[in-house]
Chains A and B, each alone.
Chain A
Amino acid sequence: MILKLFKALEQFNLDINLDLYKAKIIGVFGPSGSGKSTLLRCISGLEKHQFVKIDNQVLSDVAIDKRGIALQLQACPLFPHLDVAGNLNFIFKHTKQQNTVSIAEVVNRLGLHDLLERKIDNLSGGEKQRVVFARTLLTGQKTILLDEPFSALDWQARYQTLKALIDFSIDYDIRFVIVSHSLKELVYCCDTLVQLQLGHVVNAGELSQVVKSLDKQTYTKYNIIHCESIQRVEQYNMYRMFLTNSEQSLVVSKATAELGKRLVIPSSGITIGLKHSGIYEFNTLVARLVEWEIHDNDCYLTLTVDGQDLYCQLPLIVWDKTPLSIGDDVLATVQLES
């Protein structure tokens, strides 16, 4: 996907030149008013006269309905004269493309069975967003742009929907571009991130690379921990995920485990201890302190867990009471779901 956009806006110009060849799920983030939604409108063709090239096809002068792109607008409405099933059928019936995704498949994967007969007015905000996403998938387009698609979903439902999104991307070869305020959401599902500021790309590239280079004072730093195997803990209906090249593991819920062998841990969700208290400590990893630096009232630690970096953000008052120096072994207790 190559994008060359230039759109004069009231406060700044959207000036974007991107080359994302292999990206399948692209996350776009940045402060409000940085041009995220406008970027999607330009790609879809709602904003005219922008240079867009996808898979060697220049789309600049191609009509919206012939671009092979579906854009789900922010707060995208369902059609109020139809019920849930009617909304899904309507798009499925009227999209010209060869629909490889069936209604049954979408309903199944997004768990919409119970909603099909419901009227639009009787749906909650989260339910509406799931139906809107299902309807977007049914356009059968190979490039789908989503503007704040899951903002009304609680995290449990969001994990499930993100998992479905990843699966659809793999199984049906769909490229997604997602605009979101939640960096955490993007880190969970994207392989590529694009950071916008005042209409310009300030950071773009592979997920872990971009996350690593983010300004830690503006954005919560997310750890992406790779795991190599997952085991079910039958007794508690949970899952144990073993870190790559390590004997250490973390126990997670079904929803998190289903997202794949990648754990996303916010740096603020890790607490540090010095030695074992003797009682069972849940989700605690043995790590080594590699680096630390202080900014304002926080201390940012870089730990290493069997070869993987683990960033940790501690309030300064806690750090001052923790007698640690570089090279010390510490116990990092991880808070996974919040």
Chain B
Amino acid sequence: MMLQSDITALWLTIKLALITSCILLVFCMPVAYKLSYYNGRFKALIEALIAMPLVLPPTLLGFYLLVLFSPDHAFGQFWFWLTGSPLAFSFQGVVIASLFYSLPFVMQPLLAGFKQVNSTYNEAAMALGLNGITRFFYLVLPLLKPSILSAFALGFAHTLGEFGLALMIGGNIVGETQVVSIALYDHVESLDYSAAHQLSLVLLGLSFFSLVMLFKFNKQAIGK
């Protein structure tokens, strides 16, 4: 049987991954749509900024987010004024950190999908005289479905494996910020290999399932 704390960590991780992926989808859809059309001189700069979390160590991201969340910083003060609780070492803080951490994984499939759909199908429909609203809702969105599902699966899978950033921002509070990867780390530290195996197996299964879904959606994406 799995430990109660592990079940709590597992549920917290799934909740974190779901919330992160959903928020990122809502944020990335319009941005990717605009970016797919944008060819200005800041294009490389914007794309580099979005891709930064891919190359940065999570600890670096964690460090600056901790600074941002601290009561000495305007953003930290604003959040405290708004909610009455600090962001650091809270679930909300981990969610915000995850948003930064998984941003490129959700943005990239959407951007690639929009570019493909816009340059071929959307332009063809525009040339035939269809208006923008019809094109977006009846053509672009249905064609983009595999890319949206890919983006969701990738964002979900990537957030599942989050460790360094979650530890720095959230610490290790059971039921609040302890995600599966941190709970696993705890078991290994305390030489409880049996619990570590159980948790690893669940995490492996969950990650594998997410990736199978990802490749399934990828295969359905246009032109693949």
Question: Which chain A residues have a beta carbon within 8 Å of chain B's beta carbons?
Answer: 41, 44, 46, 64-65, 67-73, 76-77, 79-81, 90-91, 94-96, 135-136, 139, 141
Q: Contact string, B198-222, partner A, CB cutoff 8 A, digits 1/0?
A: 0000000000000000000000001
CB distance from B35 to the nearest CB of A (A): 21
Chain A CB within 8 A of B124 CB: yes
By size class, the interface of chain B is 10 to 19
Chain A CB within 8 A of B131 CB: yes
Q: B138 and A139: CB pair below 8 A? A: no
* Contacts known (A73-B123, A94-B138); A79 close to B129, Cβ less than 8 A: no
Contacts of B131 in A (CB 8 A): 65, 96
Chain A CB within 8 A of B142 CB: yes
CB distance from A128 to the nearest CB of B (A): 13
Contacts of A95 in B (CB 8 A): 128-130
Q: B121 and A72: CB pair below 8 A? A: no
Contacts of A136 in B (CB 8 A): 128
Q: B127 and A81: CB pair below 8 A? A: no
Total contacts A-B at CB 8 Å: 57
For the complex, give the distance between the alpha carbons of A309 and B42 in Å: 63
- In the A-B complex, the 3 residue pairs with the closest CB atoms: A71-B127, A65-B131, A94-B134
Q: Contact string, B115-159, partner A, CB cutoff 8 A, digits 1/0?
A: 000001101111111111010001100110100000000000000
Q: B138 and A64: CB pair below 8 A? A: no
Q: Contact string, B20-45, partner A, CB cutoff 8 A, digits 1/0?
A: 00000000000000000000000000
For the complex, give the distance between the alpha carbons of A173 and B142 in Å: 35
For the complex, give the distance between the alpha carbons of A72 and B125 in Å: 9
Q: A70 and B127: CB pair below 8 A? A: yes
Most chain B Cβ neighbours within 10 Å, of A46, A71, A81, A95: A81
For the complex, give the distance between the alpha carbons of A87 and B131 in Å: 16
Most chain A Cβ neighbours within 10 Å, of B128, B142, B222: B128
Q: Name the interface residues of B91-133: CB closer than 8 Å to any CB of A.
A: 120-121, 123-132
